[in-house]
Structure 1
């Protein structure tokens, strides 16, 4: 497994099914909160957030001055449980129709992003319905995978056929090429948002520079 993707592979990670290239990263410090897990899983997830933020060279904070928290993880058994969460409908527009669509699709996860005026990620809501498939995953793998998918605005198909994780010497790790891509995306010289496919070429150049 190589640590550097081709420009075409990078572009595919941010090209949506409608053909639009759309990239965004966080600008404000990340402040996570987790609902619906025990203390042990909570520590695992917070550790994964800290590791992901450190990889990106980004920052965390104790509180967001505007939002309080801005990266929210919700763990639950059935999608209908979300409708009963106080004030969630204010944060997630059209919550009930969304829950209906997710139930119809038998989905087990969903991420909703909010954005700054300049297009950077402002907040992310991660919803995980703990069905049989997710419940079988080790907590460390589930946490790392979800954090990775929350650090950037990936394509809706980015990890449809290949996980961002890999197994090395019996341990689940972040794929080296994905780690390199995240580091390149958070390089200070790179924009916080882009809808131009040539942005993938700049990411490729930063990944190449990181190998030297």
Structure 2
């Protein structure tokens, strides 16, 4: 993957560039699943954090939990959740837009003063297609997409996952390399200059 391809992963629809990583340990909480699936999602977080060199924690001193993952059948269900409207500005309008688009997933990020990610909300509408995905694959894909502020089209045509010859599904090597490079200590927590992609590509070569 060259610098131009890396840059494309973090370029928005309006042409702006943004690559931000987490500035604090991840503390995930999952809603709408059984205990067995909960352990699968937590395992995916642990695996990707271990790969990237980032950390997890039991408690965020400011927020309690800083990654909230919601599984549901219909977008309207979000409007019935207590206090979610206070955490997500413009929740009714967001729900109406996602319903009109037929969206199955959406992510909302919050950032600290340095531009690093401090919180994320992951919404998954479990339609027939997502419901057929093995829980392990779905969890891994979602965790990979919450580790950085990927551009809108980063995974529009190709999943962050790949399949090994033995049938196992794993994170695509080049995507794993981008995540590891972004979490290198010499890299900034957030960058809006496309030249950042050159540095990422260089770190990927070193790793």
| Same fold? TM cut 0.5 | yes
User: 3-state SS of the aligned residue for 1:133?
Assistant: helix
Distance of 1:119 and 1:33 partners within structure 2: 23
1:91-117 residue CA offsets vs partner (Å, 9 max, x unmatched): 100100110000000101000000001
- Alignment partner of 1:149 is 2:145: yes
Counterpart of 1:69? 65
1:169-199 residue CA offsets vs partner (Å, 9 max, x unmatched): 2000000000111000000000000000000
Cα RMSD after superposing both structures: 0.5
**Counterparts in 2 of 1:99-138, with a 5 A limit?**
99-138=95-134
Counterpart of 2:29? 33
Counterpart of 2:135? 139
Distance of 1:36 and 1:192 partners within structure 2: 31
- Alignment partner of 1:175 is 2:176: no
Counterpart of 1:24? 20
- Unaligned 5+ runs, structure 1: none
Counterpart of 1:209? 206
1:5-38 residue CA offsets vs partner (Å, 9 max, x unmatched): 1100000000011100111000111000000001
- Unaligned 5+ runs, structure 2: none
**Counterparts in 2 of 1:161-200, with a 5 A limit?**
161-168=157-164, 169-200=166-197
Distance of 2:157 and 2:127 partners within structure 1: 20
Distance of 2:105 and 2:160 partners within structure 1: 16
Counterpart of 1:98? 94
> Which consecutive aligned stretches of 4+ in structure 1 deviate over 3 angstroms post-superposition?
none
Distance of 1:165 and 1:108 partners within structure 2: 18
Q: What displacement does 1:84 show? A: 0.7
Distance of 1:97 and 1:178 partners within structure 2: 32
Counterpart of 1:42? 38
